[in-house]
Amino acid sequence: GAGVSQSPRYKVAKRGQDVALRCDPISGHVSLFWYQQALGQGPEFLTYFQNEAQLDKSGLPSDRFFAERPEGSVSTLKIQRTQQEDSAVYLCASSPGNTGELFFGEGSRLTVL
């Protein structure tokens, strides 16, 4: 595809459910980032991959959050035992290198009831 694709676009989960959010980056992009954006706030860093290696996961808020990119392309962000405070838009971005020019997807909006 031409851009970063994220699915699902919208997810409603009951508290305690597990969710998985998928990101399909631009083909050939080495770097992949996950950000969390609360309503009215800027994106907050979660984790960063270079190819299949997770080089920085310092932004993951708890051990309920887990991300993987096993083949250096598609990435999945998994949230276990969801809580209401997990409600946010989860943005994925990719980059061909280390330029800081990130290409964002449209995000996955998670609502935890």
Partner 1 sequence: EDQVTQSPEALRLQEGESSSLNCSYTVSGLRGLFWYRQDPGKGPEFLFTLYSAGEEKEKERLKATLTKKESFLHITAPKPEDSATYLCAVTGAQKLVFGQGTRLTINP
Neighbours of 2 (CB within 10 A): 7
Rounded to the nearest whole angstrom, what is the least distance from the CB of residue 41 to partner 1 in the complex?
Answer: 5
Give the contact letters, 25-54, x = binds to partner 1 (CB under 8 A), - = no: ------x-x-x----xxxxxx--x-x----
DSSP 8-state class, residue 86: G
Residue 104 interacting with partner 1 (CB under 8 A): yes
Rounded to the nearest whole angstrom, what is the least distance from the CB of residue 9 to partner 1 in the complex?
Answer: 9
Q: Sign of dihedral through CA atoms 95, 102, 53, 88?
A: negative
Instruction: Give the distance from CA 5 to its chain's centroid.
Output: 11
Neighbours of 110 (CB within 10 A): 21
Which of 15, 55, 62, 85 forms a contact with partner 1 (CB under 8 A)?
55
Residue 56 interacting with partner 1 (CB under 8 A): yes
Residue (66 or 104) nearer to partner 1, CB: 104
